[in-house]
């Protein structure tokens, strides 16, 4: 799909301070040289992302974490040893070299080591850590294919590496080690249960957007333009309503269109299909979308987090 030459020329774009959209196992990222504040500023401009929403810095080797953060506590060390490369980001006190714009002025930086071979090769060839949020306009549905990225930015973004659909489909799990107790800031591709098996009980952040210690946990996010309701209600008569469910729905009466996220009811498969399904429904000119709640276990936490933010007023 993507040749090594294409990745090499994308890496050159990064080194020169430009932007590249690239696949990761979670969602497509919009990347820039994390150590170049001007390059990173372009990410915020292109996305229309507020400057108080910090980015995740992507590296290829766990050792590189040391060059970005002051100190790695034992619990963080254990966690990255277990889940890197993979959909886990750790938040730790940043070093000087990380520009303030990356962390939205916070003293802490989020770092992740992606598993996707194209992401890894891009970072390796660029020779610098890559700061990247999801490659979508601020608050919109995250992209899980290169076409989603093209649809968002059209000619405003020329460098897009097409690695096919993302395998995980929801963003990384973000765990902060800034306080004494490891804290879950965002549920994601690695489940809280999996993390707790390695480091014990996690504190679950309240996700208060007005609390400056954890920006990015905005109440409205991941949202289609069509109104979305998270409910078990029947569709209101006289309206064109879409239905999104985990498995086969009990009743489809009155719905104009149905998206089943996983025929066999797998939360993992549902996570991988979530954002693409949201986009398909969004493209149908519906009056509104009803998303059915999914069980809050495993990847269900991440799915429910995205759905409740998509549904937020």
> With binding defined as CB under 6 A, does residue 216 bind ligand AMP?
yes
Helix axes 267-282, 300-311, angle to 10 degrees: 20
Contacting residue, 60, 108, 144, 152, with ligand AMP by CB under 6 A: 108
- Picked from ligand AMP, Mg ion, none, the partner binding residue 186 (CB below 5 to 8 A depending on kind) is ligand AMP
Does 144 sit near Mg ion (CB under 5 A)?
no
The minimum distance between CB 63 and ligand AMP, in angstroms, equals: 21
What value, to the nearest 5°, has the Cα angle with vertex 105 and ends 32 and 141?
A: 55
In the complex with ligand AMP, which residue's Cβ is closer, 176 or 226?
176
Which one of 50-58, 65-73, 156-164, 263-271 is the stretch in contact with ligand AMP (CB under 6 A)?
50-58
Residue with CB nearest Mg ion?
134
Closer CB to ligand AMP, 53 or 194, in the complex: 53
Within 10 angstroms of residue 93's Cβ, the number of other Cβ atoms is: 15
Spatial CA neighbour of 261 closest among 250, 252, 272: 272
134 lies in the site for Mg ion, by CB under 5 A? yes
Report the distance separating Cα 170 and Cα 217, nearest Å: 15
The residue from 6, 12, 53, 194 that contacts ligand AMP (CB under 6 A) is: 53
Q: Which is nearer to ligand AMP, 21 or 110 (by Cβ)?
A: 110
Residue 217 makes contact with ligand AMP by CB under 6 A: yes
> Starting at the edge strand that comes first in sequence, how are the strands of the sheet with 173-176 ordered?
20-22, 29-33, 130-132, 56-58, 108-112, 88-93, 173-176, 183-186, 203-204
Binding flag, residue 21, ligand AMP (CB under 6 A): no
Residue 19 within binding range of ligand AMP, rule CB under 6 A: no
For ligand AMP, give the closer residue by CB, 91 or 307: 91
Number of Cβ within a 10 Å radius of residue 156: 9
Element (H, E) at 120: helix 117-126
Taking contact as CB under 5 A, which single stretch among the options 15-23, 72-80, 130-138, 246-254 is the one that binds Mg ion?
130-138
Query: Dihedral of CA 170/52/22/89: which sign?
Result: negative
CA angle (306 as vertex; 300, 311 as ends), nearest 5: 120
The CA-to-CA distance between both ends of the chain, in Å, stands at 39
Residues at the contact surface with ligand AMP, assessed by CB under 6 A? 53-56, 91, 103, 106, 108-110, 133-134, 171, 174, 185-186, 214, 216-217
Residues at the contact surface with Mg ion, assessed by CB under 5 A? 134
């Amino acid at each position: 799909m993507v040749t090594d030459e294409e990745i090499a020329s994308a890496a050159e774009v990064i080194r020169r301070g430009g932007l590249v959209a690239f696949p990761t196992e979670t969602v497509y990222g919009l990347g820039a040289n994390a150590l170049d504040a001007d390059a990173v500023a372009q990410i915020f401009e292109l996305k229309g992302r507020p400057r108080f929403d910090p980015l995740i810095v992507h590296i290829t080797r766990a050792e590189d974490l040391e060059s970005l953060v002051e100190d790695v506590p034992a619990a963080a060390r254990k966690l990255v040893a277990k889940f890197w490369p993979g959909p886990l980001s750790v938040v730790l006190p940043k070093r000087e070299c990380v520009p303030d714009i990356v962390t939205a002025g916070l003293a802490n930086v989020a770092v992740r080591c992606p598993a996707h071979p194209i992401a890894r090769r891009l970072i390796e060839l660029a020779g610098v850590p890559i700061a990247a949020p999801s490659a979508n306009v601020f608050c919109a549905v995250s992209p899980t294919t290169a076409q989603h990225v093209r649809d968002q930015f059209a000619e405003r973004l020329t460098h897009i590496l097409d690695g096919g659909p993302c395998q995980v489909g929801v963003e990384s799990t973000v765990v902060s080690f800034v306080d004494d107790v490891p804290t879950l800031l965002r549920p994601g591709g690695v489940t809280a249960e999996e993390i707790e098996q390695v480091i014990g009980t996690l504190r679950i952040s309240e996700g208060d957007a007005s609390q400056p210690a954890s920006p990015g946990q905005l109440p409205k996010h991941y949202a289609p333009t069509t109104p979305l309701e998270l409910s078990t209600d029947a569709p209101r008569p006289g309206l064109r309503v879409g239905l999104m469910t985990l498995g086969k729905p009990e009743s489809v009466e009155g719905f104009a269109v149905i998206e089943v996220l996983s025929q066999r009811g797998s939360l993992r498969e549902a996570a991988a299909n979530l954002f693409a399904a949201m986009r398909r429904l969004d493209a149908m000119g519906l009056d509104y979308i009803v998303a059915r709640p999914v069980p809050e276990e495993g990847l269900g936490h991440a799915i429910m987090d995205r759905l409740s933010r998509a549904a937020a007023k």
